[in-house]
């Protein structure tokens, strides 16, 4: 095959989607009723297989200003879930309704009044679509991984995906890493909702998958 026809990862085509402000204080939101939602012996709410378990009551999250600022559009660390704003939830559900599971929360301000609508969120769409031949990464098969191998994206990885395998998907995980990936269509939809995608100002951190 002519080397000019070999597929390579393209800049700006796929991204790693991470949550949380890289620099700055953590948010001041407290998960008030987590102990009443947990099913011992589990220590976090998110089940091992992802998604949401049956909830005994609505998750109650309260912003305590003494612990930090209000949440951004995307925040990590809520018993295995992201906390997302309504505008981000709407963009997520519109661009790829199969990618996410959401749970409504009772979000309150410090004085007890109801705050802006928020959701707990999990990325539940898993597709084996990484183009191993076109990508540069270490595929670890040295350990007894659940799915037989692990995609190690450290050390200057560069990855792309087979679009035919993705179908209509725009946000997804693979069976071989917990990393969340998204494509340009998702990034553009989030940007159109008024959420920053070129910085972490609103809590989204996007890393070009062609240059990790």
**Per-residue pLDDT tens over the stretch 86-143:** 999 999 999 999 999 999 999 999 999 999 999 999 999 999 999 999 999 999 999 9
- List, for residues 166-211, the tens digit of each pLDDT value: 999 999 999 999 999 999 999 999 999 999 999 999 999 999 999 9
| Contacts (Cβ under 8 Å, ≥6 apart) of 80 | 44, 45, 46, 122
Cα distances (Å, whole numbers) of residue 71 to 65, 115, 159: 11, 11, 31
The answer to whether 36 and 56 have CB atoms below 8 angstroms apart is yes
Q: Is the pLDDT of residue 1 over 60?
A: no
Which of 100, 123, 146 marks a domain boundary? 123
87 and 13 housed in the same domain: no
Burial of 119 (0-12, 13-18, 19+ CB in 10 A): buried
User: Which of 168, 171, 183, 75 lies closest to 123, judged by CA?
Assistant: 171
Residue 24 lies in a domain: no
What pLDDT, on the 0 to 100 scale, is given for residue 4?
47
62: preceding bond cis by omega (within 30 degrees) = no
Q: Where among 123, 149, 164 does a domain terminate?
A: 123
Q: What is the mean pLDDT of residues 48-75?
A: 96
Residue 191 lies in a domain: yes
Same domain, yes or no: 116 and 176: no
160 & 131 share domain? yes
Q: Are residues 170 and 99 in the same domain?
A: no
Answer yes or no: are the C-beta atoms of 84 and 119 closer than 8 Å: yes
pLDDT value, residue 30: 96
Domain assignment present for 179? yes
Residue 2, pLDDT above cutoff 60: no
Q: Which domain holds residue 47?
A: 29-123
- Whether residues 12 and 39 fall in one domain: no
Q: How confident is residue 146, by pLDDT bands cut at 50, 70 and 90? A: confident
**Of all residues in the chain, what percent carry a pLDDT higher than 90?**
88
Residue 164 and residue 80 share a domain:
no
Which of 103, 123, 143 is the last residue before a domain boundary? 123
Residues 105 and 39 in one domain: yes
pLDDT confidence tier of residue 22, bands split at 50, 70 and 90: low
For residue 40, the model assigns a pLDDT of: 87
In which band, very low, low, confident or very high, does the pLDDT at 3 lie, cut at 50, 70 and 90? very low
Number of domains in the chain: 2
Q: Does residue 58 fall inside a structural domain?
A: yes
φ, ψ of residue 164 in degrees (nearest 5): -60, -35
């Amino acid at each position: 095959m002519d080397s000019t026809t070999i597929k390579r990862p393209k800049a700006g085509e796929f991204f790693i989607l991470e949550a949380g402000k890289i620099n700055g204080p953590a948010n001041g939101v407290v998960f008030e009723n987590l102990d009443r939602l947990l099913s011992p012996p589990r220590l976090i709410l998110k089940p091992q297989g992802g998604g949401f378990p049956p909830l005994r009551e609505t998750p109650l999250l309260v912003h305590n200003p003494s612990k930090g600022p209000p949440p951004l559009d995307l925040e990590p660390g809520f018993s295995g879930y992201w906390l997302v704003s309504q505008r981000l939830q709407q963009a997520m559900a519109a661009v790829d309704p199969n990618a996410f599971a959401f749970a409504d929360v009772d979000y309150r301000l410090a004085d007890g009044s109801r705050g802006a609508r928020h959701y707990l969120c999990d990325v539940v769409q898993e597709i084996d679509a990484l183009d191993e031949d076109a990508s540069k990464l270490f595929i670890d098969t040295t350990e007894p991984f659940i799915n037989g191998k692990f995609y190690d994206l450290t050390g200057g990885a560069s990855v792309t995906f087979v679009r035919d395998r993705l179908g209509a998907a725009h946000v997804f995980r693979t069976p071989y890493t917990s990393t969340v990936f998204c494509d340009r269509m998702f990034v553009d939809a989030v940007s159109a909702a008024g959420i920053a995608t070129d910085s972490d100002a609103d809590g989204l951190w996007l890393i070009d998958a062609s240059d990790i």
